[in-house]
Structures are given as C-alpha cells and as structure tokens.
Structure 1
Amino acid sequence: MTVSRPGVTIVPIHGHTPEIHESAFIAPGCTIVGNVTIGAGSSIWYNCVLRADFSRIVIGERTNIQDGSVVHCDGPTPRDPDGCPCIIGNDVLVGHIAMLHGCIIEDRGFVGLGAIAMNKARIASDSMLAAGAMLTENKVMQTRELWAGRPAKKLKELSDAAIAGMKLGVAHYAENAKAHRKAVGEM
C-alpha cells in the first residue's frame, strides 16, 4: 500500500507506482520512482533516490537505506534478458551515501558508508561490505564475510560480536525511524 508522505516525491512511470508499506518511514527529500516495493518497518532516510524505471527494486522488512544513498536497477538487454533488479532483504543496514545498482543483498547484509555494489553482485546474509568498498559486477560474497577495497576482496570472517553489532544497528534504526516519523508528522 502506498500512502502520501510529506516532502517525498513519488513518481509512477511505465505503469508502475511505488508500493510503500504504511509502517515504513520515508524521510522528506526522498524520491521513489516506478516499480519499487518497500516492506513493513523499513526506513528510507533523507535525500535517498530509489529509481526503478526499467526493472524493479524490492526492499524487505526492517531494512534501512541511510541518507543520500542511491538505489537503481537495469532493465533487460540482448546480453542480459533478465535485466538487473535490485533486491534487498530483511534487516539490512545500508550506510550513508551508498550506491546499490542491480545487486542482491540477502537478509541481514550490511553495506558500509559510501560503498558501491554493482550489477549482479551479491552480499550474503550476515556479511559486510566495508565503508568505501566497491563490489564489482558478478562478485559474490559468502555468509559472514567482510570484504573491503576497490575492487573489494575478502578480508576475513566476521565474528559473533560483529554479527551481534549489526543486529543492534537494525534495532536502533527501527526505533529511530519511529521518532523521525513522528517529528515529520507522519503519525
């Protein structure tokens, strides 16, 4: 279900209107275009752009896309008839000014500040793409891995403490979104 959001630009295009769960927080300044689905309890923070004009973007539940991030996807081409949708699972943390383009982030994945994930790249559950890293096309991270650098390469396995810290981050953003939602007059 999509509802009006104060200060948010929602653009239907090519027969698709964004579907935003009523419990999701979409901050003022965001632009949501086309075939976008945002799940329950998720938060899209200030000045993000989610543009799905030729494919689709799916964001699961309790996921946060932090300030200034860009999410996009590619439609079908002769070389790639399935295109490159951007699929983001549940309980995902995406840091400020990240760029996600036609990639897949599984449940509980983490994308650091300013990181880039490109077409058909995959960030597995409980894995972390470090701040500033670039996960190039078709690269696949495995569960509990930390990758860093440009291009990104595996650095190490994540500890239980790191996984617990990511879970705390998800909980923090879910609570903080409620306060921001109230502050901007959505409740």
Structure 2
Amino acid sequence: MKLKVYSIDGITPVVDPAAFVHPSAVLIGDVIVGPGCYIGPCASLRGDFGHIEIRAGANVQDSCILHGFPELGTVVEEDGHIGHGAVLHGCTVQRNALVGMNSVVNDHAVVGESSIVAAMAFVKAQMVIPPRTLVAGIPARVVRALTDTELAWKVDGTEQYQLLARRSLATMREVDPLAAPEPGRRRLDLPMVLPLSVVKARER
C-alpha cells in the first residue's frame, strides 16, 4: 500500500519502520513519525509551514489535522493519544496526555503530561494545562485532577493503539469486499477496553 507522502522545498517526511501510517493519511514536508506510532485513516500532518513530530508510541487517529507556523511546530510526545477528528495547531501535547475526539488545541498551548482534554473542548492559544489534569469546555477550563482510574484507562487505550500499529503492519491488506458473510464468520479477539463512563460506573 503506497503512502501519501510528499516532500516540499526539498524536505521529506520521516516514518520509522516500526510505525504504521494508513495509506489514506497525508504527510507533507517536515514531519517525523517515531517508532510504534499509529497514524489513522485520513489524518493530515502538514509540515509545510512548521515542524510536526509524533514521538514513540503516540497515536493520531482518523481525520485529525496537525499544522503549525514557521518556528512554531506541533509536537505529540511519547505515548500521546490524539482522538478522532482533533485539530492540533502549533502546540505541544506532552508525554502520556490525551486529546479527546473533535477537540481543538491552539497555538502555543501545552497539554501537560498525563492530562486529558475532554472531547469537543477548545484549548485557547497559550493555555498551559498542568500535569495530570482534566480540562473540558469551550473555552477549555481546568475541571479537576485526574484519578488513578482515569489515568489507568488512558494508558490501556494507548496500549491498544500501539498494538493496533503492530497488527496493522503485520496483517492489514487492501482487499476486495466479500459479497456475503462467510459461514462461521469470526469476530476480532482483543483485550477489552471499556468506555471511561462504563469504567467509572462500575466503581460506584
């Protein structure tokens, strides 16, 4: 499967052989994807203005957009977790932090280590989120410190995406669809990761 990878001004993206980049994702220019990373379908990593770096074990899921300015790149540090449809622009997501689905993190913002940005949040320019903190809302505001349960859930989810990178490298192939389900069609056999709402409800 040929990747959509483009050089610009003589600068070519770098993808570690142990990373998985879906063929529908687009990588342009000054982009570096580290080992064990997962870049999902239709993600856009546009290093045509500023540097973009996805460090070891991080994931950038379906339809995410990453961009920046000259001298203001976008960095997702080790084990960072970027949910479906999120937009990162000229910001830093520190180690083991999570940005929820359809959130926006704007210029010069920093998502602190092991923090969570809730789904649909808008993190304003220059906001610095403390470590191990939950933020939510439009604009995003600090809600509270994260619990051990929430942090463990985040780590489990990221490990699933690291496993997905390995599974995809080993077994994902472009194929024609079947006309009908085959007899005895099996289901995927994977470790269970529950939605956070279910995990928290079980604690009550």
* Structure 2 length-normalised TM: 0.83
In structure 2, the residue matched to 1:119 is 107
Bigger radius of gyration: 2
In structure 2, the residue matched to 1:79 is none
Structure 2 residue 140 is matched with structure 1 residue 183: no
Structure 1: which 5+ residue stretches go unaligned? Answer: 1-5, 76-82
* Structure 1 length-normalised TM: 0.90
In structure 2, the residue matched to 1:58 is 53
Q: Which residue identity does 2:110 align to in structure 1?
A: R
1:135–1:150 CA contact under 8 A, matched in 2: yes
Structure 2 residue 34 is matched with structure 1 residue 17: no
In structure 2, the residue matched to 1:92 is 80
Structure 2 residue 46 is matched with structure 1 residue 38: no
2:22–2:41 CA contact under 8 A, matched in 1: yes
In structure 2, the residue matched to 1:78 is none
Q: Which runs of 4+ in 1 moved over 4 A?
A: none
Structure 2 residue 147 is matched with structure 1 residue 159: yes
Structure 2 residue 16 is matched with structure 1 residue 28: no
Q: Please give the secondary structure, in 2, of the residue aligned with 1:171.
A: helix
1:7–1:30 CA contact under 8 A, matched in 2: no
- The structure with higher relative contact order (CA 8 Å, sep 6+) is 1
Structure 1 residue 14, shift from structure 2 partner: 1.5
Encode CA deviations 1:54-111: one digit per residue, 9 max, x unaligned. Answer: 2200110000001010111111xxxxxxx32101100011100000000001100100
1 CA distance for matches of 2:158 and 2:34?
A: 14
Structure 1 residue 20, shift from structure 2 partner: 0.6
Q: Which residue identity does 1:150 align to in structure 2?
A: I
Structure 2: which 5+ residue stretches go unaligned? Answer: 175-204
Q: CA RMSD in A?
A: 1.2
Q: Please give the secondary structure, in 2, of the residue aligned with 1:35.
A: strand
1 CA distance for matches of 2:123 and 2:49?
A: 22
Structure 2 residue 150 is matched with structure 1 residue 150: no
2 CA distance for matches of 1:140 and 1:9?
A: 33
Q: How many residues align?
A: 174
2 CA distance for matches of 1:182 and 1:70?
A: 26
2:36–2:166 CA contact under 8 A, matched in 1: no
1:7–1:27 CA contact under 8 A, matched in 2: no
State, as a whole percentage, how many aligned pairs show the same letter. Answer: 29
2 CA distance for matches of 1:33 and 1:167?
A: 29
2:103–2:121 CA contact under 8 A, matched in 1: yes
1:97–1:115 CA contact under 8 A, matched in 2: yes
